Each structure stands twice: as structure tokens, then as C-alpha cells.
């Protein structure tokens, strides 16, 4: 499957320190695309809704309060 990522609204976490060492995410075609903010033209990982929800739940489970 090939997704058109042109014009995609990439965003970073509000908890990001803004130093460029983070990932960016975007909703595209009912999926979540993830890329390295230091390598924007580089590879992109794409996750389905269930896989992304499981990832976010796992991160929330280990994040300090």
C-alpha cells in the first residue's frame, strides 16, 4: 500500500522539548504515520488504528505522572 503523504499535517507531542529529537505523527487514510523529525524525507512507519491504540496505551502505562 502506498500512501500520499504530501500535504500531511505532521505534529509532535506537546511534551516535546523542541530540540528536534522526537518523532512526528500524522493521521492519513485512516492510519497513523510516524517519522523521525531529524530525517523528514526518510522512511515512514504506518500503523492501523488498533496497533496505534495499543502503542499509546503501553506508553501511557509507563509514563511518569
Pick the more confident residue, 31 or 16: 31
Pairing verdict, β 44-47 and 31-36? antiparallel
Residue 5's pLDDT band (boundaries 50, 70, 90)? confident
Task: Find how far residue 62's CA is from the centre of its chain.
Answer: 18
Q: Indicate the pTM of the whole model.
A: 0.79
How far apart are alpha carbons 18 and 11 in whole angstroms?
12
Share of the chain above pLDDT 70, in %: 91
- Helix, strand, coil percentages (3-state) for the chain, rounded to 5, are 20, 25, 50
Residue pair 46/31 in contact (Cβ under 8 Å)? The answer is yes
Amino acid at each position: 500500500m502506498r500512501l500520499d503523504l504530501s500535504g500531511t499535517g505532521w505534529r509532535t507531542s506537546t511534551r516535546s522539548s523542541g530540540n528536534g529529537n522526537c518523532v512526528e505523527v500524522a493521521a492519513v487514510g485512516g492510519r497513523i504515520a510516524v517519522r523521525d523529525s531529524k530525517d523528514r524525507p526518510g522512511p515512514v512507519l504506518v500503523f492501523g488504528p488498533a496497533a496505534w491504540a495499543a502503542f499509546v496505551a503501553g506508553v501511557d502505562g509507563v509514563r511518569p505522572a
